[in-house]
Amino acid sequence: MQHAIAIECPPELLLGLHMNAEGFAHYLKQQAAISLFNEGKISSGSAATWLGIGRVAFLHLAFDAGATLLEDTADDLARETALL
Inside any domain, residue 18: yes
- Expressed as residue numbers, the domain containing 73 is 11-81
Inside any domain, residue 16: yes
Per-residue pLDDT of the chain in tens (84 residues, 90 and over written 9): 889 999 999 999 999 999 999 999 999 999 999 999 999 899 999 999 999 999 999 999 999 998 876 666 676 666 667 767
Inside any domain, residue 6: no
Burial class (CB in 10 A: 0-12, 13-18, 19+), 47: buried
The pTM for the full model equals: 0.78
Inside any domain, residue 2: no
Alpha-carbon separation of residue 25 from 4, 19, 81 (angstroms): 11, 9, 44
The whole-angstrom separation of Cα 23 and Cα 33 is: 15
Q: How many domains does the chain have?
A: 1
Inside any domain, residue 4: no
DSSP at 14? H
